Structure 1
Amino acid sequence: MSSALLALAGTFALVLVAELPDKTMVATLVLTTRFRGWPVLAGVSAAFAAQSVIAVAFGSALTLLPERVVSGVVAALFGLGGYLLLREGFAPAEEGEQDAARRGPAPVSFLRSAMTSFGVLFAAEWGDASQLATAGLAARYGQPFAVGLGAFLAAVTVAGLAVFIGRKLSGRLRPRLLQRVAGVAFTGFALFALWQTVG
C-alpha cells in the first residue's frame, strides 16, 4: 500500500470515528430540520473542504497554540451556540408555527440555506478534535493532499448520514425538541471545553 493511500485511509478512519458522536453531526441534524437536505449537505461540505485545507496548510501552527487558549475559545463558541439553541427551543410558539413545523422545512432559497449551513459548520469546526487530528496527520505522513482528502471524505460521510437521519426524523420529531436537545448537547460541549481550559 502506497504512503499516500495509507495516509488517506488512516485519516478517513480516524476522522470518521471522531466526527460520528461529535457536534458536527448534531449541528447538521438541526440544520436539516430547518432547511432542505441538499443545500445543507452542499453548505457543510464546502465548510469541511475549507477547514480541511486550513488544517493541512496550517497544521503545525495550530498544534503550537496553547491548549488552554483553544479550549477557551471552543468553550465560548459552544456556550453561545447552546444559549441560542435553548433560547429558540424554549421560546413561546407563534401562531401557526406548529403547523409549519409539521409541514417540514420552510421554503428558503438553496443559496441562503447552503450559506447558513456553511457558516454554522465552518465556525463549529475551529479547534475541533478532527481538525487538530488532520493537522497532526498531515505533519506525520507528509502527504497533505491525501490527509486533506481523507478528512474531507470522512466529514462529508458523517454529514450525509446526519442529513439522511434528519430528513427521516423531521416529520416525526418537533423541531423545538431537537433544538432543545441540541442546545443541551452544545452546552455539554461548552462545559467539557471549559473543564479542559481550567483543568
Structure 2
Amino acid sequence: MGLSLIEGFTKSLAMTVLSEIGDKTFFAAAILAMRHPRNLVLSGCLTALIVMTILSASLGWAAPNLISRRWSHHLTTVLFFGFGLWSLWEGFTEEGEAEELKEVEAKLNADWKAETGSKKGDSKVRDDLKKHQRPFLTQFFSPVFLKAFSITFFGEWGDKSQIATIGLASDENPFGVVLGGIVGQAFCTTAAVLGGKSLASQISEKMVALSSGVLFIIFGLLSFLSVTGGES
C-alpha cells in the first residue's frame, strides 16, 4: 500500500473538494458571509475544518495501532466502495435542487430573526447585562467567529467526508492527508465566502454527487488492487 506524501495529498485534496463543494457547511459559510464580516466567517469556518481534518487524520493514523493494518486496510476499502455507491445513489435519485441550501438557509434565517428580535427594546440595558454575562471565550473571540466555528465543526462531525478522511489516513501518509485536506478545505471555504449564495445556488448537487461517487469507487478499486497485488 502506498504511504507516499504526494499520494496521500492528492487523494485527500480530490476527496475534500468533491465532498465539501455543495455540502451543508459550504452553504452555511456562504450565507454567513452575506450577513457578517467575511474575514471572521472565513477564519471561523476554516479553523473548524482544519481542527476537524487534523482530528480525523489522527484517528486514522491511530487505527492501525488498535487493529492490524491489514484489517484497517480492508475496512477502508469497504468504506470507499460504500461511500461511492451511496454518492452515486444520491446523484441518480435526487432532482438536483438545492435542498441542503434551502434547509441551511431556513435554519440560519430563524437564528437571524431571533438575534435581531432580541436586540429590540432596552438595548442599552441588555448590552450592559450581556457584557457581564458573556461567556469566557467571547471575551477573546468574536461571537461571529465562534458562531461560524461551531456551525462548521458540529456540521462536519460524523459527516461522510470526516469518516472518509479517517479511512484515508489509516491507509495513506497521514501528513499528506492532513495537508491535502487543509488545502482543499481552504479552497472550498474561500470560494463559499467570496462567492456567496449566488455561487452556492448554481452548484449542481447531482454532478457533485456523481463525481464524488466515481472518485470513491476509484479509491476503493486502488485500495483493493493494492491488497491483491501485494498478496500475489
TM-score band by shorter chain is: 0.5 to 0.7
AA aligned to 1:57 is S
Task: Please list the CA deviations of residues 65-118 of structure 1 after superposition, one character each: whole Å capped at 9, or x if unmatched.
Answer: xx9xxxxxxxxxx9x967743645788x97xx9xxxxxxxxxxx9722222111
Q: 1:90 to 1:48 in 2, by over 3 A?
A: closer
Match for residue 85 of structure 1? 108
Once the 2 structures are TM-superposed, how far is the Cα of residue 31 of structure 1 from its aligned partner? 1.1
Counterpart contact for 1:39–1:110, Cα < 8 Å: no
The separation in 1 between residues aligned to 2:10 and 2:176, in whole angstroms, is 9
Is 1:127 paired with 2:119?
no
The separation in 1 between residues aligned to 2:111 and 2:5, in whole angstroms, is 45
The separation in 1 between residues aligned to 2:49 and 2:189, in whole angstroms, is 10
Contiguous gaps of at least 5 residues in structure 2: 67-71, 80-99, 121-139, 202-232
Once the 2 structures are TM-superposed, how far is the Cα of residue 3 of structure 1 from its aligned partner? 1.3
Structure exhibiting the larger radius of gyration computed from Cα positions: 2
Give TM-score, length-normalised by structure 2: 0.52
The separation in 2 between residues aligned to 1:110 and 1:35, in whole angstroms, is 14
Q: 1:55 to 1:111 in 2, by over 3 A?
A: same
Q: 1:30 to 1:83 in 2, by over 3 A?
A: closer
Once the 2 structures are TM-superposed, how far is the Cα of residue 10 of structure 1 from its aligned partner? 1.2
The separation in 1 between residues aligned to 2:26 and 2:55, in whole angstroms, is 20
The separation in 1 between residues aligned to 2:7 and 2:20, in whole angstroms, is 20
Match for residue 190 of structure 1? none
Provide the identity percentage. Answer: 28
Counterpart contact for 2:3–2:171, Cα < 8 Å: no
The separation in 2 between residues aligned to 1:6 and 1:20, in whole angstroms, is 21
Once the 2 structures are TM-superposed, how far is the Cα of residue 123 of structure 1 from its aligned partner? 0.8
Contiguous gaps of at least 5 residues in structure 1: 68-77, 98-108, 170-177, 182-199
The separation in 2 between residues aligned to 1:31 and 1:46, in whole angstroms, is 15
Give TM-score, length-normalised by structure 1: 0.59
The separation in 1 between residues aligned to 2:22 and 2:168, in whole angstroms, is 21
Q: 1:123 to 1:136 in 2, by over 3 A?
A: same
Instruction: Indicate the structure whose relative CO is greater, using CA pairs within 8 Å and at least 6 residues apart.
Output: 2
Q: From 148, 155, 162, give the equivalent of 1:117.
A: 148
Q: From 156, 180, 183, give the equivalent of 1:150.
A: 180
Give secondary structure in 1 for the equivalent of 2:142. Answer: helix
Counterpart contact for 2:50–2:185, Cα < 8 Å: no
